[in-house]
Chains A and B, each alone.
Chain A
Amino acid sequence: MKYFYVAIFFLCSSYSASLAIGEVSTFTLKNGMDIIVIEDHRAPIVTHMVWYKVGSADEPPGKSGIAHYLEHLLFKGTENLKTGEFSKIVAENGGSENAFTSYDYTGYFQRVAADRLNLMMEIESDRMQNLRLTIEDILPERGVIIEERNSRTENNPNSLFSEHRSALMYQNHPYGVPVIGWMHEIEKLTREDAIDFYERYYAPNNAILIVAGDVEPQAVLDLAQKHYGIRIASKKIVKRVRPQEPPKRAAIHTIYEDPRVRQPYIIREYLAENRKPGDQLEAAALTIFAHLLGGSGKTSFLGKRLQLDEKIALNVSAWHSATSYDPNKFGLYVVPVPDVSLQVVEDALDLALDNFFEVGIDQDHLKRIKTQIKASEIFALDNQEGIARAYGTALTSGLSVNDVKEWPNILAAVSAEDIMIAAGKVLNPKSSVTGWIRGPQEIVE
């Protein structure tokens, strides 16, 4: 389930911090590159990641998809390595690798035996500033990302619905443009577009090195100095300031019809506060509010009411996207049972939300959520890559290491009153987009 997955992802990524096994050390190189080392000596394995503080929300207008396209192109040749050689070296050293692009970041990683860290740093540092793109490399790769968009988006009405809703939510902010890009713009991306973006954003003072695993912090620092220390800081790197949303003046309602949709459902999203440096309380309250409302079909406020009592919903969930550079979304998802209309579930959802404020917070439920938060810090220790990702996501969203360490404590300290205040603020109909997705309706005269 796509949306269920979203909710769970944010639970895990948010809670994994402040750790006993995962001792965290931080450094900064003279060229401005930040370094985070997370120790886990259970097995001689290391996760090596470089995160750039640039994502699709930093793309120039009309060039949507360029951040992601460039991510693909970083696997092509450099001054020192031929096309394909990077992946070959990783594979021959028994490593696995991949890369990812989001609105706020672009990341590259390898998982490999700890004694191969030196080599991984050497080749990762190389492609930070030595990329050499030929036309033979870039044209087929554009075909690849077009097929990636076909696979992920065009072939999936849920994805089309999702990017449609985001475009409506963000009237001015670039979060309204899909990370993978609009098809008509992807098709026109050029080598020059990729090189401009690369030269503008790929520099040590715009990057974070995260190393997690069986390593000693000082040894990582020494290796990083050797490999990343030689990269030259860019003067073009400035604090990211993106166009912000204007005041929201009216609720938006939209209906997306697609003949492939067999199960209609409704998603409502509200513009919501994200975690801010030194100021994470409101986001923490919203994260817990999402769990109270729709964390589990059987115990959450909406689940019990719409699924179990009224029996009008097949599935219900709620989520909050807490970790992002700019304000993000608080979402609600309801799937009606057969023969119950989307209008009926939307009305029931509205009534239920009103009722939440009358009834107030179930203290036992809040206590259970806090128990789970505490436990998830312990479970997180078993997932080296998860911890590394939690840091990467937070730090490319403008947060500090201290913010990451404090986050579980802030979640644990959230009071019922904090939640009611945050809930009252976020559930503002004027900042909402409500979407219905269904098959084409027959016209009734």
Chain B
Amino acid sequence: MNKFLSAFIMILLSGLPVNAELIIHEVKSKGGITAWLVSDNSIPIISFDIAFKGGASTELDDKLGATYLMAGLLEEGAGNMDATAFSLAAEELATSLSFNSSRERISISAEFLKETTNQSIALLKAAITQPAFNDAAFERTKAQVLSIISRNQTDPRKIASNAFNKIAFESHPYGRPYQGTANTISSLTQDDMFEAHRQNLTKDRLFVSVVGDITADELLIILDDLFGGLPEKGALFPNVVNFKALGGNTIIDFDTTQSTALWGHSGISQNDPDFFAAFVMNHILGGGSFTSRLTDEVREKRGLTYGVYSYIANMDYANFYGGSVSSANDRIEEALDVIKEEWARMANSGVTEEELIAAKKYITGSYPLRFDGNGQIAGILTYSQTNDFPINYPQNRNSYVEAVTKKDIARVANRILKAEDIHFVVVGSPTGLVATE
């Protein structure tokens, strides 16, 4: 065999209590395409998870939504196949292909039976390299996107997140709605689709993960076949941006019984030495389990909400610390007050030893459970690659968590949690809350 085996790492997910064996190969094709591979022949199926960085964040303001529309069109005909012929081909193979895009990614996944590998890869290749963007499909998909944008205008969560992004990132690409606006989508042409395709599906932003009944040798040939013809370089990536919103409230009037709130202030980078301390701290504060402080105080003790969460958001060019909650219009003010109190309590006094031990047990113990199914594992590998994690990250991740101390958490909580800096965006008819200018 040849030079492709640049890394071969056996990963024992050695957090308590599960030891799951996962062997991740990094393979590099003759044409220079890298992929992470887990070969597992226990079921005769193969999953591909492919990401192109950039997504909508590389678009010009007047082409907003072009990437989203383009990605949606990748399954609407390719080569000499129209949309129906393309779908028929996939159905005949029982192959699932999915094409999605977001603020900073185009994500493509494929799942197929091993016995259909050649035909499935040919179909995937046609979609990636020779999309048709023909008239009928273009007009139809455009109308579907306009319908989605129109629906978003009365969806409280969408209203809140669009407003939040704009306040947080202003004129930076992250401040824009990645699906576009009615105006920009209406003005897009088929030429814009070819251009968005040319600028986004390029080798300089490609990440590939493969899991299933396939060997490294088999994959190497496929990698060059699938991606060898893509252009080397694409659109410029955006600049780094700081979180811009100041502490305060934005209220967007909307006639409904329950107010939806998002909040945030500046965050912490994944490269920060205290990142894992912050990660464990957030789990205790509001990280989405039934045992977090926010869930206990806002939901369990007071019954103010069905769900309250906080999260550390790490995008490619920005970080922030955010959260979300929904409460009846006459209870949302109390919910936000409790959240601010919990924010300040954590900043001032950190966590108890008991909380830290419990959090570590959950975070390390549940990590192996995520490696559940081929498609899931492929997704985790792509996430690791796009975040520039080393290939042994899954092996070491739990040890970073174990190393966090109470003191680390107290330090990082005090540094990054600023109750007075929180900006809340509330959509609804909240009583009592006052908007800041």
Find chain A residues with CB under 8 A from B84 CB: 298-299, 304, 308
Residues A155 and B156 in contact, CB atoms below 8 Å apart: yes
Taking a contact as CB atoms closer than 8 A, the residue among B18, B291, B366 that contacts A84 in the complex is B291
Find chain A residues with CB under 8 A from B87 CB: 296, 298-299
8 example contacts (A-B, Cβ-Cβ < 8 A) are as follows A92-B365, A116-B17, A143-B331, A146-B328, A147-B305, A307-B140, A308-B84, A371-B91
Find chain B residues with CB under 8 A from A263 CB: 147, 150-151
Residues A155 and B257 in contact, CB atoms below 8 Å apart: yes
B354-369 vs A, CB cutoff 8 Å, 1 = contact: the mask equals 0000100110111111
Find chain B residues with CB under 8 A from A381 CB: 43
- Within A274-327, which residues are at the interface with B (CB < 8 Å)? 296, 298-299, 304, 307-308, 311, 314-315
Find chain A residues with CB under 8 A from B17 CB: 93-94, 113, 115-116
Residues B303 and A144 in contact, CB atoms below 8 Å apart: yes
Find chain A residues with CB under 8 A from B111 CB: 379
How far is the CB of A183 from the nearest CB of chain B, in Å? 9
Q: Please choose the segment from A42-50, A51-59, A240-248 that sits at the chain B interface, where 4 or more of its residues have CB less than 8 A away.
A: A42-50
Q: Compute how far the CA of A153 lies from the CA of B46 in the bound complex, rounded to whole angstroms.
A: 39
Find chain B residues with CB under 8 A from A170 CB: none
- Within A156-192, which residues are at the interface with B (CB < 8 Å)? 157
Q: Compute how far the CA of A145 lies from the CA of B303 in the bound complex, rounded to whole angstroms.
A: 8
Residues A382 and B289 in contact, CB atoms below 8 Å apart: no
B375 touches A (CB below 8 Å): yes
Taking a contact as CB atoms closer than 8 A, the residue among B113, B257, B305 that contacts A375 in the complex is B113
Find chain B residues with CB under 8 A from A79 CB: none
Find chain B residues with CB under 8 A from A150 CB: 257-258, 306, 326, 328
Query: 13 new A-B pairs (CB below 8 Å) besides A147-B328, A155-B258, A299-B87?
Result: A21-B42, A44-B19, A87-B289, A94-B362, A97-B290, A143-B331, A147-B258, A147-B306, A150-B326, A151-B326, A298-B76, A314-B143, A382-B45
Q: Compute how far the CA of A91 lies from the CA of B154 in the bound complex, rounded to whole angstroms.
A: 37
Nearest B residue (CB) for A140? B303
A424 touches B (CB below 8 Å): no
Find chain B residues with CB under 8 A from A314 CB: 140, 143-144, 147
B5 touches A (CB below 8 Å): no
Residues B45 and A147 in contact, CB atoms below 8 Å apart: no
Taking a contact as CB atoms closer than 8 A, the residue among B18, B299, B328 that contacts A45 in the complex is B18
How far is the CB of A209 from the nearest CB of chain B, in Å? 20
Q: Compute how far the CA of A151 lies from the CA of B324 in the bound complex, rounded to whole angstroms.
A: 12
- Within B293-329, which residues are at the interface with A (CB < 8 Å)? 296, 299-307, 326-328
B373 touches A (CB below 8 Å): yes
How far is the CB of A137 from the nearest CB of chain B, in Å? 9
Q: Compute how far the CA of A278 lies from the CA of B356 in the bound complex, rounded to whole angstroms.
A: 53
Find chain B residues with CB under 8 A from A261 CB: 154
Find chain B residues with CB under 8 A from A87 CB: 289-291
How far is the CB of B87 from the nearest CB of chain A, in Å? 4
A376 touches B (CB below 8 Å): yes
Residues A92 and B91 in contact, CB atoms below 8 Å apart: no
Residues A368 and B326 in contact, CB atoms below 8 Å apart: no
A378 touches B (CB below 8 Å): yes
Most buried by A among B15, B93, B290: B290
Residues A75 and B43 in contact, CB atoms below 8 Å apart: no
Interface residue tally on A, bucketed by range: 35 or more
Instruction: List the interface of chain A (C-beta within 8 A of B).
Output: 21, 42-45, 75, 83-84, 87-88, 91-97, 111-116, 139-148, 150-151, 154-155, 157, 259-263, 296, 298-299, 304, 307-308, 311, 314-315, 335, 337-338, 368-369, 371-372, 374-376, 378-379, 381-385
Taking a contact as CB atoms closer than 8 A, the residue among A95, A155, A259, A337 that contacts B366 in the complex is A95
Residues A378 and B45 in contact, CB atoms below 8 Å apart: yes
Find chain A residues with CB under 8 A from B86 CB: 298
Find chain B residues with CB under 8 A from A88 CB: 291, 358
Q: Compute how far the CA of A259 lies from the CA of B257 in the bound complex, rounded to whole angstroms.
A: 14
Residues A378 and B373 in contact, CB atoms below 8 Å apart: no
Residues B361 and A92 in contact, CB atoms below 8 Å apart: yes
Most buried by B among A75, A150, A263: A150
Residues A43 and B361 in contact, CB atoms below 8 Å apart: no
B238-262 vs A, CB cutoff 8 Å, 1 = contact: the mask equals 0000000000000000011110100
Q: Compute how far the CA of A381 lies from the CA of B374 in the bound complex, rounded to whole angstroms.
A: 10
B20 touches A (CB below 8 Å): yes
Find chain A residues with CB under 8 A from B369 CB: 45, 94-96, 111-113
- Within B128-156, which residues are at the interface with A (CB < 8 Å)? 136, 140, 143-144, 146-147, 150-151, 153-154, 156
Residues A144 and B305 in contact, CB atoms below 8 Å apart: yes
How far is the CB of B422 from the nearest CB of chain A, in Å? 21
B218 touches A (CB below 8 Å): no
Find chain A residues with CB under 8 A from B260 CB: 155
Given that A299-B87, A314-B143 are known contacts, is A382 also in contact with B366, CB under 8 Å in the complex? Answer: no
